[in-house]
Structure 1
Amino acid sequence: MSMGVESFVGWLRDVAGAMHENAGYLTELDSAIGDADHGANMDRGFQAVVAVLDESSFGSADELLKKAGMTLVSKVGGASGPLYGTFFLRFGTALAGVDPITPEAIGTALHAGVEGVLARGKAELGDKTMYDAWAPALDAYDAAVAGGADLGAALTAAAEAAAKGRDGTVPMVARKGRASYLGERSVGHQDPGATSSTLIVESAARTLR
């Protein structure tokens, strides 16, 4: 079955549901090492994306995903809006004109999205950021596809790796963003961005099959 616009609409709606369900948890994580607004910001941003989906129809996956990215940039406060917005913008741009959308094409789009995040956020592995979830997710995805896995299996492998990366942020000292001001006091807390990023990958594994 080839992936069309509806597949990505389903993904975005599912992400919005996950952010809404986990808004309190994300804010709780962020209250320990950030501004205590990550959950509310992500929930608000993805509810705005759902409103766009309800009002508009899209002729292509790239058009849809770029619009979702622009919506997140304009509606989400703090650093999260530009970072997550850039991810979906770059992800969508990488799919422009691609047909059929293969597991390899999704891999290229994931890499493009994360490279956009890195270009904006300048984070490195071990800085206790969302990249600590994304980097292992990309590696696991690439390895699965190279081994012949279908999209669902590759995304499941990516989601499992993202969750391990997220959990791995707990003992880290934050070196980026608001949490870095705490220095050693950031140890023992799970990174909110790595947590919300993992929700996005887990959602992809549920919906983009």
Structure 2
Amino acid sequence: MSGSGAHSGDLDERAAATVDTAMTLEDALAWVDRFISHVVASKAAFTELDRQAGDGDFGTNIEAAVSKARRRLTEQPPSTPGEVLQRVSAGFLATGGTSGPLLGAWFRELAKGVTTHASTEAFAVGVESGTAAVQRLGRASVGDRTMIDAMVPAANALRRAFTVGVGLDSALRYAASEARRGAESTTAMLGRKGRASYVGEAARGLPDPGAVLIADLFETAVPHGAAGLAE
């Protein structure tokens, strides 16, 4: 899996020439549609990855969650980017397994941060808040071989992007690159949470499915910027 191509050294160079932009309703809908389509297409790959390092239900659970989210988006058309993310949150919260409630809480906090103005600052605030919620609920930290290993680098990247004044498109590319780097780092870790903590060495060499999903999420946020997506 490769990164998205944005690195911290690029941010200072881009900041002076960048005008901050916000994600529109149409942008948010397109992003979520790309993400949902990717999850549905990757169900088998996620299932196999989780079978080797977990209990094998991750692909089924996340496919069910995004299908519910898509149905909610159709039945309750959103009028703001925040409402798009609220529908996704509801889909995950209505799904079983460990990841459903955690991802539902993450999207819920992101939706609160984004509301009607999905700027770099709004994403930084929302992703930080969502990541803190998952850490609190899941009692996980960086290095535990969980989705947190991708969430924290993405949150830090967005905060840095906002601090140096980078626009949303570049900020999301940077966040995607850092999330992918974090997901790939889990291949060398021993699981300390969930079923991965029981399989021990059997999981080493494989990335955590939740961390991979978070990297995929950020990569689908940028049109034509999803080069690292798992197949």
Instruction: Please give the TM-score of this superposition, normalised by the length of structure 1.
Output: 0.90
2:218 maps to 201
1:92 maps to 111
8 Å CA contact 1:130, 1:195 repeated in 2: yes
Q: Is residue 2:82 matched to residue 1:80?
A: no
8 Å CA contact 1:11, 1:207 repeated in 2: no
- Specify every segment of 5 or more residues in structure 1 that has no aligned partner in the other structure, as ranges: none
Matches within 5 A, 1:158-197: 158-197=175-214
Query: Deviation of residue 25 (structure 1)?
Result: 1.2
Aligned residues: CA RMSD: 1.9
What do residues 54-105 of structure 1 show as CA deviations (whole Å, max 9, x unaligned)? Answer: 222223333332232122111x221111011111111112234x5x432111
Whole-angstrom CA distance in 1 between matches of 2:22 and 2:178 = 26
Instruction: Please give the TM-score of this superposition, normalised by the length of structure 2.
Output: 0.82
Query: Which one scores higher on RCO, CA 8 angstroms, separation ≥ 6?
Result: 2
1:115 maps to 132
Q: Is residue 2:87 matched to residue 1:70?
A: no
Q: Secondary structure in 1 aligned to 2:121?
A: helix
2:150 maps to 133
Q: Secondary structure in 1 aligned to 2:206?
A: coil
Which piece of structure 1 moves more, 181-190 or 8-17?
181-190
Query: Deviation of residue 207 (structure 1)?
Result: 8.2
Which piece of structure 1 moves more, 199-208 or 169-178?
199-208
2:15 maps to none
Matches within 5 A, 1:23-102: 23-74=43-94, 76-96=95-115, 100-102=117-119
Whole-angstrom CA distance in 2 between matches of 1:66 and 1:55 = 13
Whole-angstrom CA distance in 2 between matches of 1:161 and 1:201 = 10
What do residues 27-49 of structure 1 show as CA deviations (whole Å, max 9, x unaligned)? Answer: 11101111112112111211111
Whole-angstrom CA distance in 1 between matches of 2:118 and 2:36 = 23
